[in-house]
C-alpha cells in the first residue's frame, strides 16, 4: 500500500493542468466521495497494526499535498486571468439588460388589479412597534394569538413586522372612512426555511372600510382578483378560519395551477393551494383605531406574494426567489 501511495504522490507532483476544468477533475479524482483518498483510507483499516504508523503518515501527506496542489493551481490561474483582464482594454462588455425580479412582477400585477377596483397603495416601516403590529389589531399583551407568529424582536417593544397590517393601522390613524387601500411590503417571521416557507417574504394586504360593507363584498372582490390573476376559469373556495383582527375569518384557496388539481408537493397533494387569509374587520379593531364600529364595517385580506408567484410561474421551491441564481432569473427577461 505504501508503494501505491508513493506513486500517487508522484502523480500529484507532476500534475500540470491546462484549465480550471482539469483542476476540478483532479480534485474529484482524489478528494471526491468515491475518490482515491477515501479508497485508501478504507484500505488502511485492513493493513497490519505494525504498518499503520508509517502508512498513515504517508497517507496524510498525500491528502495534504493534493489539497496544497489544488490551492496553488487555482491561485495561479486566477492571477493569470486577472493580469489578462487588466492588460486587455478591448475585452467585450456584457451589455445584457436585466429584468424585474419575479416577486416585483407579481407584486405590481397584484397592485394593478386592486387599483382597478379603486384601492390606493400605502406603505410603512419594516421596523415597527408593538402597538402597530399587535395591540392595535386586537392582540392583548397575553393573548395566545401572539404565538401564531414567531417574531423577531429588537427590544421588548420594537420588532420586525410580521405582516403589513401595521401599515393599515397607520392608515386608519390618519384617515377617516371610506378607506380602501392595499399595503405591499417585506415581512419577517422566525420560521424554518424550506420549499414552502422562509423567514423573509412579501405580502400584499388590503383594507376596505365604509358604511354597509359586507362579507359578500369581500367574496366578490377576491373572486375578481383570482380571475384577473389566474384566468377566468379559476376556482376558489373559502374555509372558516381564525384571526384576532377579523370576525368572521376565512382562508381562501385556489385550484393548484402547478399540478392542475391532481396533487403535488406544493399543494400538499390536495389539489388546492392556500393563497390568502381574509375576513370582516373585528369591531374592536375599528374602535381601537378611532373608527365608530356602529357606523362603519369593513373587510381585510392578506396574501403572500411568493405563493402567488409560485402558482403563476409554476415554481415549486420558494427558496429560488432569494438565491439570485442567474439561470433562474433569466426566465423572466421577457416580462415587463
Residue with cell 422562509: 198
Residue (of 212, 218, 261, 254) closest to 235 by Cα position = 254
Contact 246, 300 (CB under 8 A): yes
Of 54-63, 90-99, 263-272, which range is least confident? Answer: 90-99
CA pair distance 24, 65, nearest whole angstrom:
15
Q: Which domains does the chain have, with CATH numbers?
A: 2-87 (no CATH), 102-332 (3.30.930.10)
Contact 124, 185 (CB under 8 A): yes
In this predicted model, what pLDDT tens digit does every residue of 271-322 receive, in sequence order? 888 889 999 999 999 999 999 999 999 999 999 999 898 888 888 888 889 8
Residue (of 211, 208, 176) closest to 281 by Cα position = 208
pLDDT at residue number 150: 79
Decide which of 12 and 258 is more confident.
Answer: 12
User: Coil, helix or strand for 47?
Assistant: coil
pLDDT at 256 over 80: no
CA pair distance 68, 30, nearest whole angstrom:
12
Q: Cis ω on the peptide bond leading into residue 288 (within 30° of 0)?
A: no
The stretch 166-190 carries a mean pLDDT of 95
pLDDT at residue number 47: 85
Q: Which contiguous run of DSSP H or E holds residue 188?
A: strand 179-188
The vertex-32 CA angle with 28 and 34, nearest 5°, equals: 115
pLDDT at 16 over 80: yes
pLDDT at 258 over 80: no
Please tell me the pTM assigned to this model. Answer: 0.67
pLDDT at 146 over 80: no
Amino acid at each position: 500500500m505504501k508503494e501505491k501511495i508513493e506513486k500517487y504522490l508522484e502523480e500529484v507532483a507532476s500534475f500540470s493542468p491546462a484549465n480550471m476544468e482539469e483542476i476540478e477533475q483532479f480534485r474529484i479524482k482524489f478528494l471526491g466521495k468515491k475518490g482515491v483518498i477515501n479508497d485508501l483510507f478504507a484500505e488502511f483499516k485492513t493493513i497490519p497494526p505494525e504498518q499503520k504508523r508509517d502508512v498513515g503518515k504517508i497517507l496524510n501527506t498525500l491528502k495534504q499535498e493534493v489539497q496544497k496542489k489544488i490551492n496553488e493551481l487555482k491561485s495561479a490561474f486566477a492571477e493569470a486571468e486577472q493580469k489578462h483582464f487588466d492588460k486587455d482594454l478591448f475585452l467585450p462588455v456584457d451589455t445584457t439588460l436585466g429584468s424585474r425580479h419575479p416577486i416585483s412582477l407579481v407584486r405590481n400585477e397584484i397592485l394593478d388589479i386592486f387599483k382597478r377596483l379603486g384601492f390606493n397603495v400605502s406603505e410603512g416601516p419594516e421596523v415597527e412597534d408593538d402597538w402597530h403590529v399587535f395591540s392595535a389589531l386586537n392582540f392583548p399583551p397575553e393573548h395566545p394569538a401572539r404565538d401564531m407568529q414567531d417574531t423577531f424582536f429588537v427590544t421588548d417593544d420594537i420588532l420586525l413586522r410580521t405582516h403589513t397590517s401595521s401599515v393599515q393601522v397607520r392608515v386608519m390613524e390618519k384617515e377617516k372612512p371610506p378607506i380602501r387601500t392595499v399595503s405591499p411590503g417585506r415581512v419577517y417571521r422566525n420560521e424554518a426555511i424550506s420549499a414552502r416557507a422562509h423567514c423573509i417574504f412579501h405580502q400584499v394586504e388590503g383594507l376596505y372600510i365604509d358604511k354597509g360593507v359586507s362579507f359578500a363584498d369581500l367574496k366578490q372582490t377576491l373572486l375578481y382578483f383570482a380571475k384577473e390573476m389566474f384566468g377566468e376559469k379559476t376556482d376558489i373556495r373559502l374555509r372558516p378560519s381564525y384571526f384576532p383582527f377579523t370576525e368572521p375569518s376565512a382562508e381562501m384557496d385556489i385550484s393548484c395551477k402547478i399540478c392542475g388539481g391532481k396533487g403535488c408537493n406544493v399543494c400538499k397533494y390536495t389539489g388546492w393551494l392556500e393563497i390568502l387569509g381574509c375576513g370582516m374587520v373585528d369591531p374592536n379593531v375599528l374602535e381601537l383605531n378611532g373608527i365608530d364600529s356602529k357606523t362603519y364595517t369593513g373587510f381585510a385580506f392578506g396574501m403572500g406574494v411568493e405563493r402567488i408567484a409560485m402558482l403563476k410561474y409554476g415554481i415549486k421551491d420558494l427558496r429560488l426567489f432569494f438565491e439570485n441564481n442567474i439561470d433562474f432569473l433569466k426566465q423572466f427577461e421577457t416580462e415587463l
